[in-house]
């Protein structure tokens, strides 16, 4: 079941980010900062977070997105994570699809996301491409030497 973020999800999202073994300490810290901003300010934060519970009602995935400031119709996906035990069961696809529906309903026409070129993010890159996200550009050595920033985009029909 996909639902909006609730304040009590905070610790479970932190645990989820650690369990994926994808994100480094700094990335998790930033994700938690964004989460806290969203919990504290709601819609005024500029972020929207959706959670996906598994059949037992436990948090199994989440996605964070929002309108890109100073644009008329562009959105960013900031974070998406699915618990390893729930991986490859369609939860990530369901979260992505729900975001695309929300963006379309709000008149958005593009969704951007970016990721690292390193091996821990290979599954993420394959996932995005599988669901129609097109590699738009690569910024060499963006995060650090040998770690490029890869930017993806998907056109959305409102």
| DSSP assignment of 34-57 | HHHHHHHHGGGGS-EEEEEE-TTS
The 8-class DSSP code of residue 117 comes to S
Q: State if pTM tops 0.85.
A: yes
Domains of the chain: 2-155 (3.40.630.30)
pLDDT tens-digit readout, 22-64 = 888 999 999 999 999 999 998 889 999 999 998 888 999 999 9
- Looking at residue 149, its pLDDT comes to 97
């Amino acid at each position: 079941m996909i639902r909006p973020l609730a304040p009590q999800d905070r610790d479970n999202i932190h645990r989820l980010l650690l369990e994926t073994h994808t994100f480094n300490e700094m990335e998790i810290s930033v994700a938690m900062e964004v989460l806290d901003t969203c919990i504290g300010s709601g819609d005024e934060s500029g972020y929207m977070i959706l959670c996906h519970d598994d059949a037992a009602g436990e948090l199994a995935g989440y996605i964070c997105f929002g309108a890109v400031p100073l644009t008329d119709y562009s959105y960013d996906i900031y974070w998406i994570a699915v618990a390893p035990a729930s991986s490859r069961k369609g939860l990530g696809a369901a979260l992505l699809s729900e975001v695309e529906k929300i963006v379309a309903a709000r008149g958005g026409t593009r969704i951007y996301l970016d990721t690292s070129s390193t091996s821990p993010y290979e599954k993420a890159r394959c996932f995005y491409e599988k669901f129609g996200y097109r590699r738009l550009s690569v910024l060499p050595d963006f995060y650090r030497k040998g770690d490029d920033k890869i930017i993806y985009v998907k056109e959305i029909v409102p």
